[in-house]
Chain A
Amino acid sequence: MRIYFTADNNAEERLQKRFTQIIDILNSEGSLVMSNLAQKNIAGFTSQDMEKIGQTGEVLIERVDALVIEGTKNLIESGYLIALALAHKKPILYLIEKGKVADRNLIYLQKGVSSLLRLKNYSDNDLEKIVTEFVEFAERGAGKELPNIKFTLRITSRIERYLRWRTHNTKLTKADYLRNLLEDLIDKDEEYKKFIRHHDDLEF
C-alpha cells in the first residue's frame, strides 16, 4: 500500500523525530511511504510512471492509497491535500499532539461529512496504535473502494452470454460481478497475502 505522509519540513527537532517515528511505523506495517520530507516526494514511482502520470493529467494523490498528515505545526497545504484526497475518496489520518486543537473546518468535515477523514490527538503512548489502526482501516475499509483503473478485457460471446445471464435481474453490473469475483480470489489467496505483507513496495 502506498501512503503519502506530509508534515512541516521546518518544524523543530522534537517534531522532526515524531515524523521519523510515524514513517517508521508506516514502514513496519508494510506500507511504501512517500513524503514531502527530505525530498522524497516522488519515491516509489519510476520515471516512466511519472511521465505517464504527467501525460494523463492525473495528480499523484490519485495513485496513493491513503494520506497521513502530522498537523501539530500548521501546514499551509494541508487543507488542499485533504480536499483533494477526499475528492479522490482516499482515507486520511490527521495527527495532532494531545492538547492542541484542530482547525474547526476539519472538525466540521470529520463530524458532519466525511467518514474518510480521521482527526486524532496523539501522545507518545498511543501514536503507534493510532497509526496502525489507520493502516488497517485504509487497507480494509474505504481506501480501496473506488475502482478507478481502466482495464480493457476482451471476452468471448460465450462468457458475455454467461455474464448477462448471471447479472440479469440483479443490481450488479457485469463489471461489478467480475470485480467481486476478483476480490474473493484476493481474500482467499494466502500466498498473495504473504507476498503483500513483505513486498508491498515492489512495482507490479
Chain B
Amino acid sequence: MAQPARKKICLLICNSIPGLQPDKLKDWLAQMPELGIIADIEPIFVFGKNAADVNHDTWSKLADIIFKRLESCAGFVVLHGLDNLLFTTSALSFMLQSLSKPVIFTGSQNISNNSNDSKNLGIKANLINAIQVATSGVGEVGLMFGNRLLRANQATRAYGESLNLFTAPENAVLGRIDFSIRIFERLVYPHSDKVKFFRQLNKKIEVINLSAVIDFDCLKKKLSGRDGVIINTGDYQGLPEDLVYTLSHSAKNMPVIIWSKEIRPSVLSPKNFLIINNMTWHATLVKFMWALSQGKGVAKVKELMAQSISGEIISE
C-alpha cells in the first residue's frame, strides 16, 4: 500500500512539566507513541517555568519560532498551562496575522510527565486532538480542549466539571469532535497569501482594574512613562470622577481604552477615550499593545482598535 505523505507538526512546549528536561524532549515524546501515527512531530522547548510567568518576551520568542517554521511545518501545537493562556493565544493572533497554518494551543488542568497516569489522560487526548487539527490547514490561532476547537481570541475561561475548559460565542466555535473532527470552514477567518509578522508589542501601558482603592497620586506618576492606558471596569456602570479627571490631565495625549460591558459611550467625553465592549478582556489588552506598537497616534490607535484584525470582534 502506498504510504501517504506525513505532515510535519511542530510541538512547542511552553510550560513546566515535572521531570521534563529541555534536552530530553524526545524521551518525553516517546512515552506517547500514539502521537507519531498522526504526524511527524518536531518538539521544541520554548519556556520551562510555570505558565503564570509567561510574558511579552515569551510571546515574542514563540511567534518568532513559529514564523521561522511556517514553510517547513504543516501546523503548530503549543502546550501551555492555563495561567496566561488567553493572553498568549490573543498575542499570537495579533503577532502572526493572516496565518495560513494552524497554531493550536492545548493543555490540561493536570500536566504531568507520566503519560500512563489516568489523571493525565486529559493532556494526551487534548494533544492528539490538537495535533490532528494542526494537520487540517485551518489558518487560525485556536484552542483545543475537550471536544471543541475555538477561535482563541474570542475565548473565555469556562468553569465547572467539563473538559471544555474554555468557551466562545457560537461563531467562534471552529470545530467539534464527535467521532472525528469536523471543521466549520465557513467560520474560519480569511487570510491573505502572506502572513504579517509583528515581532514586538508595546508593553508600555498602564493597566487599571477599577476598585475603591485606586491611588491617584501613584497613578499620575506611573502615567509619565506610559504610551497608553487600559481600564478593566469589571461590573462598574460608571467611571470614578477622580479617575476621569486624572486621565484627562495626565493621559490627555495617549489613548485610553475602557473595557466595559456596562458603561455607555456617552459618558466618555474626552476624545482620547474609547470604550470596548465587543472583545474579550484578553484580546482587548493585547490588541491595544499591538495597536500602540504601530506608533501612529491616538486617532490611529482608536481606528485600529475598532477594526477586526484577526477575527477578535464578537459579532453577536
Interface 1/0 per residue, B160-185 and A, CB below 8 Å: 01111100000000001111110000
Query: Is there contact, CB below 8 Å, between B128 and A113?
Result: no
A108 to B179, CA, bound (A): 24
Interface residues of A in 47-100 (CB under 8 A from B): 53-61, 72, 74, 76-77, 79-84, 86-88, 96, 100
Contact with A along B33-52 (1 / 0, CB 8 A): 11111110000000000000
Q: Which residue of A lies closest to B177 (CB)?
A: A59
Residue on B nearest A61 in the bound complex, by CB: B179
Q: How far, in angstroms, from A35 to B147 measured CA to CA in the complex? A: 19
Let me know if B129 is at the binding interface, CB within 8 A. yes
Partner of A84, one of B4, B128, B161, B163: B128
Asked if residues B1 and A100 are in contact (CB atoms below 8 Å), the reply is yes
Q: Could you tell me the distance between the alpha carbons of A6 and B34 in the complex, rounded to whole angstroms? A: 18
Once the chains are docked, how many angstroms separate the CA of A80 from the CA of B129?
8
Q: Among the listed A36, A53, A55, A96, which residue makes an inter-chain contact with B180, where contact means beta carbons less than 8 Å apart?
A: A36
Determine whether the beta carbon of A41 is less than 8 Å from that of B124: no
Please give the distance in Å from B29's CB to the nearest CB on chain A: 13
Distance between Cα atoms of A41 and B180 in the complex (Å): 9
Contact of B163 among A57, A101, A103 (CB under 8 A): A57
A46 on the B face (CB < 8 A): no
| Interface size in chain A (residues, C-beta < 8 A) | 42
Contact A57 B148 (CB under 8 A): yes
Task: State whether B179 touches A88 (Cβ < 8 A).
Answer: no
A34 within 8 A of B: yes
Total contacts A-B at CB 8 Å: 96
A residues in contact with B125, CB < 8 Å:
59, 84, 87-88
For B1, B39, B165, the residue with the greatest tally of chain A CB atoms inside 10 Å of its CB is B1
Interface hub of A72, A83, A100, A114 (most chain B Cβ within 10 A): A83
Interface presence of A4 (CB below 8 A): yes
Complex formed: what's the CA distance from A181 to B129 in Å?
A: 36
CA distance A53 to B38 in the complex (A): 24
Contact A60 B178 (CB under 8 A): yes
| Contact bitstring B1-21, A, C-beta under 8 A = 1, else 0 | 111100000000000000000
Q: B124 touching A87 by the CB < 8 A rule? A: yes
Interface residues as binary, A99-133 with B (CB distance below 8 Å gives 1, 0 otherwise): 01111111011001110000000000000000000
Q: In B28-78, which residues have CB < 8 Å from any A CB? A: 33-39
A58, A83, A96, A146: the one within 8 Å of B34 (CB) = A83
Residues of B within 8 A of A104 (CB): 3
Closest Cβ of chain B to A174, distance in Å, is 17
Known A-B contacts: A84-B128, A87-B124. Give 14 more (CB < 8 A): A34-B179, A41-B178, A41-B179, A42-B178, A56-B146, A56-B162, A57-B148, A58-B147, A79-B37, A80-B181, A81-B179, A87-B34, A103-B37, A109-B34
Which A residues lie at the B interface, using CB under 8 A?
A: 4, 6, 34, 36, 41-42, 53-61, 72, 74, 76-77, 79-84, 86-88, 96, 100-106, 108-109, 112-114, 146
Which B residues lie at the A interface, using CB under 8 A? 1-4, 33-39, 118, 121, 124-125, 128-129, 132, 145-148, 161-165, 176-181
Closest CB pairs A-B (n = 6): A57-B146, A57-B163, A83-B34, A57-B164, A79-B37, A80-B132
